[in-house]
A and B are shown apart, each in its own frame.
Chain A
Amino acid sequence: MTSVNGLCSVPLIEAALNGKLPVTQEVTFQEHLETCEVCIVTMEKMAGGPEWCQETAMHLTKDELDEAAQGKDDWSEVDFTVEYLEPSDEPNVLGRLGGYDMLEVIGRGGMGVVLKGFDAQLKRCVAVKVLAPHLAHNPLFRKRFAREAQAAAAVMHPNVIAIHQVQATGRLPFLVMPLIPGESLQQRLAKRGPLEVVEILRISMQASSGLAAAHEQGLVHRDVKPANILLEPGVERAVLTDFGLARAGDDRTLTQWGVIAGTPNYMSPEQARGEKIDGRSDLFSLGCVLHEMATGRTPFNAEGTLALLKRVCEQHVPPPSLIRPGLPRWFDRLVLKLLAKDPADRFSSARAAAKVMEGCLAHMQDPSAAIPVEVADPPFPLRKMIWWAVGLLVVCAAAVGVLPEVLARSGFGAKTKADETKRFEGVQVLNEADIEDAVIEAEMQILDQGIKDLEGSLKESQTKTMEKRSP
């Protein structure tokens, strides 16, 4: 390859391929490429040749599955209406189902479709949740739908959605609930971003009370997330929906209910692992919701479902105040206690959690009210105070032995540090850097105190020596 102007050279092409040509040379070389077939062929060969180009094109060309993975799906409201609703003569009505006029589709999840219906007898609008057609074909799903809907209907609580009617037979099983005006917590977060602490506590306390009522009936929600918490305007009442529907009975694989078809951002570690779960799993999910209400983001995030589930199982959550400075320390503790990996480290029940949240709320409204002990700063340990008192006595008694005392003290400092660490682990500050900071701070305080004490005892011994001399 020879050229009069020296542009046909392999090193030059190589530099161009690596993006290492100076700008002026780059332009000249590009102009050269308009005409020089030899250089074009050489460059293409160096970039992998036509085979490589073909292979790349074949793999990178998007197909219909890529579109599907981007969230487009094949569900159609028209198809659903035509296929499953009885026709109605009324204009503005999609069709009829079980004696209700269906007005519009208001939501859709992995489990089914929610429609706005009109109850002509009672002259009121209702929300009708229909089991998804592809699940309704399966008798097992139908049976579970009925069983769980009935269980949910038995929970009577202001913070749990009421169930007016359960229709388990017929082509599509459905259940009828009151239509709650207002928005879901998910909608509110999308619109307004993170909430004030008082508001967070009010919502989570109510959600917790609702969960408690259900747990006491033996029902685990399994799908606590902002979309399932409705906020009634005016009274600011939080209402849990989708109760029990997500529950897979005693099955260990929850997937058969399509729970994971959505986002696993709020799933507990035991759920992610497919283990047996109880009400405390809901508390973990609620912890994720609290984290999101406070910081605007869920505690666990990753590209892809599997990576996300692994994080849920393994990644420790830093205190929310690191993301939003100014959050009270007790709030950090509250969230981290809910997010404990081991259910035994969370609150013992939703009832207990609600009580603590209520206490926090009382403290927010009246700072003189004590912070609930479960999330309060750990008290200064009595044992340590006794040790200090003993140390002080020793100093006083042995007025002359200042140096040995200092040595004794350094050993004592080490013990205190161990205590500190234990104390912080106890409240689940799981970020090691934080623990270290706290330990360092505590040690500095202790050292300060120690120096003051030593000064005090020195003065004392001086005075005593003076007294001895004076007579």
Chain B
Amino acid sequence: MTDVTEAIARAHRQEWARVVATLARRYRDLDIAEEMTAEAFAAAVERWPADGVPANPGAWLTVTADRKAIDRIRREAKRAQKHQEALMLSDAPEPLGVIDDDRLRLVFTCCHPALAMEARIALTLRMVGGLTVPEIAAAFLVQETAMSRRITRAKTKIQAARIPYRVPSREDLPARVTGVLTVLYLIFNEGYLASDPEQNAVRGDLTAEAIRLTRLVRDLMPAHGEVAGLLALMLLTEARRTARVSAGGELVALGDQDRGAWDRALIAEGHALVRARLASGQPPGRYQIQAAINAVHTDVRDVRDTDWSQVIALYDQLAVLDRSPIVRLNRAIAVAELDGPEVALAEVDGLPLEGYHLFHATRAELLRRLGRSDQARTAYGRAIELAGNTAEKAYLIRRRDQLGAP
């Protein structure tokens, strides 16, 4: 990569959201903001190799995008009045929100609860993340035209229904931050659970993109515990990603992973975030607790050293906030390590998770440890039927076949 290409890639990572956000505030129009920002980057690709990289790439891009926006507005007579309005709006001192940053307004607008969840995800990746529509379509295995329509429809609704371009009011803020974190976590999981990251690198890249976006939100809301918790959770999960799938494309269970392959830098950063949250003394939310559970797992070089009683205590804490049976299922897996498979099986049986592959996979593993091979085989069979991910399927099939024929 030449220096200029690298400078453009860096500017794209660092400045895209800022330029879109600035234009969106100035012109109150996400279409103009998005298109003119894209054009400014296209201009950079054209001109920086000849003219050199400007001293302040962000300012250059903003000014270029802004000029293009004004040109376009002048060209479109219909927009003239809008431009006038926009200028008047930006002259008036705006009431400052709880946090004042254009990028944060952009994040909250893209993750607005009046938009469908899939639209929020697509819009966030496009407007804040700077991914192209074809990239987003490929990552979500959706036709490009369908993805493009989804984004256009969301933008139309924002405009027509007057979804505001600002940080929510204090009373709305907690729920809205939770909504933003949900979007970021869904993006992360989409990448993390991608069954074939080798073949579909775009999907795999979603984890890195989700982490980047969460870092941005954390920069904008540094005091928010759950933002830090989600970032820590993502880092500690991402750290294990390469160890999680074998060379043969099969899932590797936590206890069997090559811990030397874990990313120590990500783990150190995740642990530091978890420690800082613990030190804050504030009651943790669900992401912070999940991050703490992952911190316990990543704290030891040997699975046998895992502090299972600590894991169970954290799941108990999580169960108070989240009554989902999935939390109880995960808790039971830790119970198996501390109190044995029999106790754990008693906790798992009866959970209303008939349609969830990990319920059957967990039962299969517990039954296997109890020597009840026939029942284990049936449970593996159910899990294999329900599993959507090829790496998980491969793992479950091998586990089942190890039991031999009935």
- Say if A and B assemble together: no
